[in-house]
Amino acid sequence: MPSFFDRLATAVKQKRTPLVVGLDPRYASLPKSLQRGDALDARAAAFREFSIGLLDVVAPLVPAVKPQVAFFEQLGWRGMQALADVVEHAKKLGVLVIADAKRNDIGSTAEGYADGWLGEQSPWRGDALTISPYLGDDSLEPFVRTAKERNAGLFVLVKTSNPGGKFLQDLTAGERTIYGTVGDLVESLSRDLAGECGYGVAGAVVGATYPEQLAELRARMPHTWFLVPGYGSQGGTAADVAGAFDSSGLGAVVNSSRAIIFAHARDEFAGLDWQQAVEAATQQAIADLGTACPLA
């Protein structure tokens, strides 16, 4: 099996878009037809049905989906059981799965997380996982080891899209910002393990809401694929993410969640059923990103 980033590059070229759809099921925002009461098992069933319905619409259109683990975890193990079904359905449809879990720990504990999300036996076995770097360089190693073994990918938090991201990430220590320090570490991991597409085992999360830093990091991290949140509902535009791509239009995927998955609530899509609205919003985002991404 090719490496995750080689598979992602192929999928981006095939689907002709860097758009990733975020599976973020907030219960109150689901189509009313899927809401069946507040009990945890009813909500978990609704998340399953909603997410599988989303996958049926978006899997043919985009290279990858990004389930936000927090929303499933909010429902306890029943939510995590629903997530296992969602991941399985995504694999059946042939769309790549980036588990957005932002995990981290040290040593054998980090191995536990890596195994839970990328391991062979895991019911949540995704293609890639987001991880957090606060615990330091040695905390990333078990994840890198597992990702290499499994041809899976990682996305390390580098520069996040929220206003408070600057609290630590923008501090300068010596010659470098903190996000630059983490970015250099990630780039060094990826340079050593670059696949055919030129990108290595560790990607980086870099927000759309800070376009200058996005362009700076693109130049600084030539072997690191970016996962870009913050496009769409969080305020990032296609122009803001333009700096994330390499000259072939590869090197970044751009996530949109709410604007797509809750498109049934957008006035412009009134009259469509919820899945038709999702399809229309996905096509709209693909067209919009097409203006910024130089895919041949």
- Helices 211-220 and 178-192 cross at an angle (nearest 10°) of 40
3-state secondary structure of 292: coil
Alpha carbon distance 159, 41 (integer Å)? 36
For a second copy, the closer of residues 15 and 125 by Cβ is 125
CB of 239 to a second copy, least distance (A): 23
Q: Is 233 in the site for a second copy (CB under 8 A)?
A: no
E strand residue ranges, 11-120: 19-23, 64-67, 96-103
Binding residue for a second copy (CB under 8 A) from 4, 71, 199, 274? 71
What residues from 24 to 43 belong to the interface with a second copy (CB under 8 A)?
Answer: 24, 26, 40
Alpha carbon distance 156, 111 (integer Å)? 16
The residue whose two tokens read 């949540």 is 124
Q: Is residue 290 within 8 Å of residue 19, measured between CB atoms?
A: no
Alpha carbon distance 255, 73 (integer Å)? 20
Binding residue for a second copy (CB under 8 A) from 23, 30, 55, 75? 75
The piece of 78-86, 216-224, 238-246, 248-256 that touches a second copy (CB under 8 A) is 78-86
Token duo for residue 71: 């929303």
Find residue 103's DSSP bridge partners: 131
Residue span 51-70 as binding mask against a second copy, x where in contact by CB under 8 A, dash where not? -----------------x-x
Binding residue for a second copy (CB under 8 A) from 34, 42, 45, 135? 135
Q: Is the dihedral of CA 53, 56, 61, 63 positive or negative?
A: positive
Residue 197 dihedral angles phi and psi, to the nearest 5°: -75, -5
CB of 283 to a second copy, least distance (A): 26
For a second copy, the closer of residues 31 and 116 by Cβ is 116
The piece of 115-123, 248-256, 259-267, 268-276 that touches a second copy (CB under 8 A) is 115-123
Helix (H) or strand (E) holding 27: none
Out of 15, 32, 91, 102, pick the active-site residue.
102
Binding residue for a second copy (CB under 8 A) from 95, 98, 110, 252? 110
Q: Is the dihedral of CA 45, 100, 208, 241 positive or negative?
A: negative
Token duo for residue 288: 């919009």
Told to judge if 148 belongs to the known catalytic residues of this protein, a careful annotator would answer no
Q: Is 256 in the site for a second copy (CB under 8 A)?
A: no
Q: Is 99 in the site for a second copy (CB under 8 A)?
A: no
Q: Is 133 in the site for a second copy (CB under 8 A)?
A: yes
Count of residues that bind a second copy according to CB under 8 A? 62
Token duo for residue 240: 């803001």
CB of 112 to a second copy, least distance (A): 4
Which is it for strands 226-228 and 19-23: parallel, antiparallel or unpaired? unpaired
Q: Is 137 in the site for a second copy (CB under 8 A)?
A: yes
CB of 51 to a second copy, least distance (A): 15
Helix (H) or strand (E) holding 88: helix 77-93
Residues assigned a catalytic role: 102
Which residues make up the interface to a second copy (CB under 8 A)?
24, 26, 40, 68, 70-71, 73-81, 83-84, 102-110, 112-113, 115-116, 119, 121-124, 132-139, 157, 160-169, 171-174, 178, 181-182, 185
